[in-house]
């Protein structure tokens, strides 16, 4: 590993990359150097984050995959300056690792939401068991969102004897009105992946009428749909158009033909696929829960309180999930 970072090696390879970028496109020497420079650059992009930025080996591998499509752009952008090639790549890695870290954190937050939405802290859904229902007596089926949330926070019922050990711990935690508000903030932030079984489980741990919880999720879905419907439709149309073009390009590439045209189509396909994946990522975000600012508006509390609520509740639920696994 250290041989890649010795001063002599670094200066020698810097001269090689500068020579490569100075050569004309048709030069035989350029074709000869291309693979060697690309291979060395990939190795450096794997090692630098570990050596200079303390990135774990597993994350360094994932980081390399995330920048792989930009390697030629990095190579051809290098020019004579006060930096060696290693120094130049280190600056790129420092910036790109920050972006990679933020993206990873967002993915982890989404994964946490998906995990809890997928009943990870609950036992398997018992289809035969339905929580108690006061139904029409509570009048919850006619409440709007603020009144409904207030009703759920202020009216915990009896803890059901059928709860599993993990569910009972959550139910005990949620006897406290402050914790119930934190739980509401948390489930408002989750992606739209709830199922009837999940809603039944939420009703059990909140010890709340299932009619109230079902209405809560119905209103939540309507509010999310209203906020993102137009944007979601546009993104679906754009993603659909990109997919059709990708299919046509893939068919043309598979058919073969002129090698130069085939290479151009492959390059176009890679660019378009990257755009298509970005469209899908944007579309997935429209199915996520409310932002913290939106939750603050719904609950009528400061955004900083929402941040604290979600963080506290996530930690509490993660602790219960760990205890269940152990």
pLDDT < 70 stretches in the chain: 1-2, 100-141, 161, 193-194, 227-232, 282-288, 326
- 37's torsion region: left (phi>0), alpha (psi -120 to 50) or beta? alpha
Long-range contacts of 37-43 (CB under 8 A, 24+ apart): 37/75, 38/71, 38/72, 38/75, 40/4, 40/13, 41/71, 41/74, 41/75, 41/89, 42/68, 42/71, 43/4
How much is the pLDDT for 182?
92
How much is the pLDDT for 184?
92
How much is the pLDDT for 1?
57
What are 196's two structure tokens? Answer: 């009837």
pTM above 0.75, yes or no: no
pLDDT digit string, tens, across residues 111-165: 444 444 433 444 443 333 333 344 444 566 678 888 889 989 988 888 776 777 8
* d(C-alpha 318, C-alpha 15), whole Å: 52
How much is the pLDDT for 121?
40
Please choose, from the candidates 67, 122, 118, 120, the residue with its C-alpha nearest in 3D space to the C-alpha of residue 95. Answer: 67
Rg, C-alpha atoms of the chain:
27
Q: How far is CA 255 from CA 142, 250, 263, 265, in A?
A: 61, 9, 13, 12
* d(C-alpha 170, C-alpha 164), whole Å: 10
pLDDT digit string, tens, across residues 14-49: 988 888 888 887 778 888 888 888 888 888 888 888
Contact status, residue 167 vs residue 201, Cβ threshold 8 Å: yes
Residue with tokens 């670094």: 10
What are 132's two structure tokens? Answer: 């108690």
How much is the pLDDT for 180?
92
What are 210's two structure tokens? Answer: 């299932």
Residue with tokens 């009837």: 196
* d(C-alpha 4, C-alpha 6), whole Å: 6
How much is the pLDDT for 227?
64
């Amino acid at each position: 590993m250290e041989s890649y970072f010795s001063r002599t090696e670094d200066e020698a390879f810097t001269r090689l990359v500068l020579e490569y970028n100075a050569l004309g496109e048709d030069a035989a020497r350029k074709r000869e150097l291309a693979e060697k420079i690309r291979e060395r650059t990939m190795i450096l992009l794997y090692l630098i984050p570990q050596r200079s930025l303390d990135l774990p080996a597993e994350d360094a591998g994932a980081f390399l995959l995330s920048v792989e499509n930009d390697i030629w752009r990095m190579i051809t952008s290098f020019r004579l300056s006060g930096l060696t090639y290693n120094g130049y790549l280190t600056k790129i890695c420092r910036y790109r690792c920050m972006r990679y870290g933020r993206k990873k954190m967002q993915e982890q937050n989404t994964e946490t939401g998906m995990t809890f939405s997928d009943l990870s802290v609950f036992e398997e859904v018992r289809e035969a068991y339905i929580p108690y229902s006061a139904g029409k007596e509570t009048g919850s089926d006619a409440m709007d969102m603020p009144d409904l949330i207030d009703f759920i926070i202020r009216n915990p019922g009896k803890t059901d004897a059928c709860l599993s050990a993990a569910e009972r711990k959550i139910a005990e935690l949620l006897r406290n009105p402050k914790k119930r508000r934190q739980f509401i903030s948390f489930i408002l932030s989750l992606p739209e992946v709830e199922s009837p079984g999940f809603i039944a489980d939420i009703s059990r741990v909140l010890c709340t009428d299932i009619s109230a919880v079902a209405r809560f999720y119905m209103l939540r879905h309507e509010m999310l749909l209203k906020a993102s419907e137009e944007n979601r439709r546009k993104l679906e149309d754009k993603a659909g158009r990109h997919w059709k073009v990708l299919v046509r390009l893939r068919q043309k590439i598979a058919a073969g033909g002129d090698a130069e045209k085939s290479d151009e189509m492959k390059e176009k396909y890679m660019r378009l696929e990257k755009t298509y994946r970005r469209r899908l990522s944007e579309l997935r975000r429209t199915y996520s829960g409310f932002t913290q600012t939106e939750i603050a508006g719904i609950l009528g509390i400061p955004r900083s309180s929402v941040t604290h609520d979600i963080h506290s509740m996530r930690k509490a639920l993660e602790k219960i999930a760990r205890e269940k696994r152990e």
